[in-house]
Chain A
C-alpha cells in the first residue's frame, strides 16, 4: 500500500466519476465543469506516473486553455442550451451502450491477459540526460524535431483557420463616430443604454435591466440574448409578486 497506489485509486475514481458526470449532465455548462474536474484528476495521475512536466502542461493547457475555450463557446451558443433526454434514433442508446461496453471489455480483457512485470520507472531515462526536463527537451528538440516543427506549423494553421471561420464579413460600411452621434441624438434614447441587471436582483448577462417605471428594458441585453426564451424573467416585478 504505497502512496502511489493510494493516489491512483483516489484520483482514478474521481476521474471516472467526472467522466460519467459529463456524459449524464443535462446542462452543457455542468458537463464542461465535470470534464474539467476529470482532467485535473488525470493531471494528478500524471504526477504519480513520474511525469511532472506533463501533469503541469495538462493543467495549464487542457484545463486552463481548452476547457475555458469550451466555456466561452458555450456562452456564445447559449448557456441554457440543454438536450432533452428523449432519444430520437431508435435503439441508439441501447446499441451504443452495448458496443461501448463490449469495446471496453475487449480492451480490458486483452490488457489483463498480459504479464505484468514491475514497471521500470523513469529514473534511468531521466539520469541519462541529467534531469527529467532535460531529457524531454532532448527528445523534443533533437529526436523528434521534425514532428515538433510540423506541430508548430499546425498551430499557426489552426489559429488562422479559426480566424477565417469565425470572421464576420462587414457588408455595410462602418458607422463613423459622427454618424453614431447623429443617430443617437435623433433617436428616442439619447442616454447610454443600461447595462444588464441594473436595478435588478441579479446582473447576469441575460437578465434585463429595470426601467424607472418597473418595466424590463430589452435594450439592455446583448443581441444574442434577446430571443424568446432567452430572456431571464428573474427581474420582473410581476414574477416577483407571484
Chain B
C-alpha cells in the first residue's frame, strides 16, 4: 500500500475544506471548514513522520492541534460578540468596505 495515499487523502480533505470556506455563508460553518483544513494538514504531517521514521511530524501535529484549539476559542468568542450586536451570523453582512 502506497504511503503516499495518506497524503492524497489529506489533499482531498483540504480541498473540501477550501470549498467549504468559500461557499458557506454562516460564519460558524466557515470556521468548521477551517478546522477541517487544519486536520488535513495534521494528517499529512503524521503520514510524513511515519514515512521518514522520525517523530517530529507527530510533535508538530500535536502543536498544531493546541494552536487550533486556542484559535477556536478566540474565534468563537468574536463570532458571539458580533452576533450580539448584529443579530446575524452571516459573513455577507459585513460588506461596507467596497468600491
Contacts and interface: CB of A to CB of B under 8 A. Distances in A.
A203 interface: no
Contact of A45 (B12, B43, B54, B56): B43
Contact of A83 (B25, B31, B39): B25
Interface in A198-218: none
A42 B77 contact: no
B32 A162 contact: no
Interface in A130-155: 135-136, 139-140, 143-144, 147-148, 151, 154-155
Nearest to A163: B77
B1 A5 contact: yes
B59 A140 contact: yes
A12 B50 contact: no
Interface stretch (A99-107, A174-182, A187-195): A99-107
Interface in B1-41: 1-9, 11-20, 22-26, 28-29, 31-33, 35-36, 39
A10 interface: no
A2 to B, nearest CB: 7
A121 interface: yes
Contact of B67 (A31, A82, A154, A162): A154
A77 B28 contact: yes
Interface of A: 2, 4-5, 8, 12, 15-16, 19-20, 22-23, 28, 31-32, 35, 38-39, 42, 45-46, 49-51, 53-54, 57-58, 61-62, 65-66, 69-70, 73-74, 76-78, 81-83, 87-89, 92-93, 96-97, 100-101, 103-104, 107-108, 111-112, 114, 116-122, 124-126, 135-136, 139-140, 143-144, 147-148, 151, 154-155, 157-159, 161-162, 165-166
The 10 A-B pairs at the shortest CB distance, nearest first, are namely A120-B53, A104-B15, A158-B70, A96-B22, A165-B77, A162-B77, A5-B1, A119-B3, A19-B16, A23-B20
Given A35-B32, A57-B65, A103-B15, 13 more contacts: A8-B1, A8-B5, A19-B20, A28-B28, A70-B31, A70-B72, A88-B92, A100-B22, A120-B52, A125-B53, A126-B55, A143-B59, A147-B63
Interface of B: 1-9, 11-20, 22-26, 28-29, 31-33, 35-36, 39, 42-43, 46-47, 49-56, 58-59, 61-63, 65-74, 76-81, 83, 89-90, 92
